A and B are shown apart, each in its own frame.
Chain A
Amino acid sequence: EVQLVQSGTEVKKPGESLKISCKGSGYIFSTYWIAWMRQMPGKGLEWMGIIYPGDSDTRYSPSFQGQVTISADKSINTAYLQWSSLKASDTAMYYCARRGYCSSASCHRNIGSLFWFDPWGQGTLVTVSS
């Protein structure tokens, strides 16, 4: 079974750093892009960025560029999302999700050509409060 399992709930103070994880299993982790999405309380989904664990090629939404860092360690089938200095406005549920498989080189690096995600991790709730 293809599965993404995320790390647990985090409660942090403003200014603290944080790194959450997303571990894949049931498939060759290094051959699928992994995306991160944010869902603020009571709100919709926002696409944050995406990484290819095979070579760590990473793309960010302009809205999140410079605000977070996405990374991956293919040796342990894990992707990460990290903050260096959290703000109260970072309070949200964060989901990782696997991008659909690209069989061609043109599709592989062109994120927009194949923009769908399955499966999703169970989510990591991050609460930032003083």
Chain B
Amino acid sequence: QSVLTQPPSVSAAPGQKVTISCSGSSSNIGNNYVSWYQQLPGTAPKLLFYENNKRPSGIPDRFSASKSGTSATLGITGLQTGDEADYYCGTWDNSLNEGVFGGGTKLTVL
């Protein structure tokens, strides 16, 4: 059971929009920055966002991220089949004194 809760799966048609939630608590998301990662099938994770909503160079602006209270959200618009991947949120937990990740959300582009 992950400390951060993500939906196991989401799906949408090409061109549509999808959001992925990441729910935590005051000991993690509530008081620390959130990062997001994309893991394409058979590959290593790749940074999508850091410090809640900062996008590294090379990440398309179809991707967005936000944080409010103890939850964070990743949004993807104009879905493409190449976006099919597992998406993870991550942050630090002050009570556990360790880094924590969500369980991951599998995105299917129908």
Contact = CB atoms under 8 A, between A and B. Distances in A.
Interface of A: 35, 37, 44-47, 61-63, 95, 97, 100, 111-123
A81 to B, nearest CB: 15
Nearest to A122: B44
A120 B98 CA distance: 19
B44 A120 contact: yes
B94 A118 contact: no
B98 A61 contact: yes
Nearest to A64: B98
Contact of A45 (B51, B98, B104): B104
Interface residues of B, number: 28
A99 B50 CA distance: 11
B99 A44 contact: no
B94 A44 contact: no
Interface in B14-58: 32-33, 35, 37, 43-47, 50-51, 56
A115 B92 contact: yes
Interface in B86-110: 88, 90-94, 96-104
A116 to B, nearest CB: 4
Contact of A100 (B46, B50, B92): B50
B103 A112 contact: no
B92 A44 contact: no
B101 A47 contact: yes
A47 B99 contact: yes
B102 A62 contact: no
Nearest to B6: A44
A45 B101 contact: yes
B43 to A, nearest CB: 8
**Chain B CB within 10 A, most for which of A62, A112, A119:** A112
B103 A61 contact: no
Given A61-B98, A116-B33, A117-B47, 4 more contacts: A37-B45, A47-B90, A63-B98, A116-B50
Contacts of A123: 44
B68 interface: no
A114 B90 CA distance: 11
Contacts of B96: 62
A17 to B, nearest CB: 25
A54 to B, nearest CB: 20
